[in-house]
């Protein structure tokens, strides 16, 4: 039998696991340390919020895993860090604001944000707001409504020195709204960094997402999947599947543990949000704050 060249194990990829050479594992893999967010969060925020170049982040996990809570925590930490940076330097404006884009009809968890809510583009006169266009329309009309509103936001934001973290609660739904919006998001994943825009996107499953969301994102947070087939793809987002599937299996779902990996530095940790989220009462003239009822 003739062995095809692509079936030969590359010499440089061969690792040793249990004394057996196996190219399917990463020889440099190390089991990630468990660190609570109260300790890990400040270091993440320092790098995510104050780096010389904006860095994108993705959060992957099934419904109810805790990914929304993590996203809101990241945004809260980012805002607090930017305010501290502003005070340290006596600056008039924060370095990088944030806009969280929501498309759900209602969800009480977002009341924990405390940020002002903009229903229309004209209300976004400043950043650190929740953009939440709501409609009573259903089906195709609802999708068309969201498509128009979100395309309007992306077109409005695309300008030099936009300096904004743009967070999407469910990027999978937004990508499905239209081919035009999907192409615009692709442009954002590839080029928005030059405008000072950081993307923070959340998705229930990695399948079906734009590949650029994964390939262009240095930060990846992965919660424990419920499906074994999903587990394989979740693990591949972190590295070699054989290395990372046991790590994902070890995550405590009750504790809402997740793996956070930085592709550039190759650092990875197992973490969980151990600090309660308190609403940040950011005041904006003419806008109602989103606070717990």
Mean pLDDT of 23-50: 87
CA max distance for the chain: 75
| CB-count burial class (<10 Å; 0-12, 13-18, 19+) for 290 | buried
Q: Count CB atoms within 10 A of the CB of residue 80.
A: 13
Task: Show the domains of the chain with their CATH numbers.
Answer: 32-287 (3.40.50.300)
pLDDT (0 to 100) of residue 217: 79
% of the chain beyond a pLDDT of 90:
46
Beta bridge partners of 17: 20
Higher pLDDT, 103 or 5: 103
Give pTM, 2 decimals: 0.84
Q: Which pLDDT score, from 0 to 100, does residue 88 have?
A: 84
Count CB neighbours of 7 within 10 A.
7
- Which of the two residues, 12 and 45, has the higher pLDDT score? 45
SS3 260: strand
For the ranges 30-34, 131-135, 249-253, which has the lowest average pLDDT? 131-135
Span 49-67, pLDDT tens digits: 776 677 899 999 998 899 9
Which range among 145-149, 195-199, 211-215 shows the weakest confidence by mean pLDDT? Answer: 211-215
pLDDT value at 213 more than 70: no
Q: Measured between alpha carbons, how far is 280 from 238 in angstroms, rounded to an integer?
A: 32
Q: Give me the pLDDT at residue 211, please.
A: 53
């Amino acid at each position: 039998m003739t062995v095809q060249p692509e079936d030969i194990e590359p010499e440089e990829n061969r690792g040793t696991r249990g004394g057996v050479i196996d190219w399917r594992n990463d020889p440099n893999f190390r089991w990630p340390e468990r660190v609570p967010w109260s300790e890990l969060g400040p270091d993440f925020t320092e790098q995510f919020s104050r780096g010389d170049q904006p860095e994108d982040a993705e959060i992957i996990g099934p419904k109810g895993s805790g990914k929304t809570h993590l996203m809101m925590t990241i945004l809260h930490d980012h805002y607090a860090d930017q305010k501290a940076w502003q005070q340290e330097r006596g600056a008039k404006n924060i370095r990088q604001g944030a806009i969280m884009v929501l498309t759900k009809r209602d969800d009480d968890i977002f009341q924990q944000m405390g940020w002002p809510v903009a229903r229309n583009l004209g209300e976004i006169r400043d950043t650190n707001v929740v953009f939440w266009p709501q409609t009573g329309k259903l089906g195709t009309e609802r999708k068309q409504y969201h498509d128009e509103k979100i395309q309007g936001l992306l077109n409005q934001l695309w300008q030099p020195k936009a300096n904004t973290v743009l967070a999407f609660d469910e990027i999978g739904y937004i990508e499905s709204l239209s081919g035009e919006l999907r192409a615009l998001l692709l442009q954002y994943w590839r080029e928005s960094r030059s405008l000072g825009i950081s993307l923070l996107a959340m998705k229930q499953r990695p399948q079906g997402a734009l590949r650029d969301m994964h390939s262009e994102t240095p930060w990846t947070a992965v919660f424990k999947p419920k499906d074994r087939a999903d587990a394989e793809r979740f693990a591949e987002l972190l590295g070699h599947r054989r290395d990372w599937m046991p790590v994902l299996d070890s995550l405590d779902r009750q504790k809402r543990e997740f793996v956070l990996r930085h592709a550039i530095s190759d650092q990875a940790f197992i973490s969980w949000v151990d600090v309660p989220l308190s609403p940040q009462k950011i005041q904006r003239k003419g806008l109602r704050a989103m606070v717990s009822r």
